[in-house]
């Protein structure tokens, strides 16, 4: 069966520090991968999605970047965190090549920038 791992679960980082959140998927190959952010009191916002190794699309300009060094690994990074980067970050995957494939979410990382 397919599983998705996301870590860490919680993170408190000072402004200006770097960030690295990691997500890995097991039990499937060549998935579409996604990073979402949920700010307090707001809906989910798509940050990045990837259809393959090294292929990253950004939905919103921001202080964050994403990389996909391996087929089932998706990393969200920042060189210098801002207060506005605080939020709940969710990684997700879906099956490629299927119209409207359901999204499968990780458990999320709650990031607090102080």
Partner 1 sequence: KNEVEQSPQNLTAQEGEFITINCSYSVGISALHWLQQHPGGGIVSLFMLSSGKKKHGRLIATINIQEKHSSLHITASHPRDSAVYICAAAESYNTDKLIFGTGTRLQVFP
> In the bound complex, what is the minimum distance in angstroms from residue 32's beta carbon to partner 1?
7
- Cis bond before residue 8 (omega within 30° of 0): yes
Least separation in angstroms between residue 95's CB and partner 1 is 9
Cβ–Cβ under 8 Å, residues 14 and 113 = yes
- Strand 32-38 versus strand 44-52 pairing type: antiparallel
Which residue, 1 or 42, has its beta carbon nearer to partner 1?
A: 42
> Does the protein bind partner 1 through residue 55 (CB under 8 A)?
no
Assess 5 for contact with partner 1 (CB under 8 A).
no
The torsion angles phi and psi of 78, rounded to 5 degrees, stand at: -150, 145
> Residue numbers of the site for partner 1 (CB under 8 A)?
32, 34, 41-46, 49, 57, 88, 90, 92, 94, 99-108, 110
């Amino acid at each position: 069966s397919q599983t998705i791992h996301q870590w860490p679960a919680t993170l408190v980082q000072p402004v200006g520090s770097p960030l690295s959140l990691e997500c890995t998927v097991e039990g499937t190959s060549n998935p579409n991968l996604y990073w979402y952010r949920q700010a307090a009191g707001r809906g989910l916002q798509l940050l990045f999605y990837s259809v393959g190794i090294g292929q990253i699309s950004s939905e919103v300009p921001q202080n964050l970047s994403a990389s996909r060094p391996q087929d089932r690994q998706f990393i969200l990074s920042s060189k210098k965190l801002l207060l506005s980067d605080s939020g709940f970050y969710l990684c997700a995957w879906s099956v490629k090549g299927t119209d409207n494939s359901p999204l499968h979410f990780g458990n999320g990382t709650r990031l607090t920038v102080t």
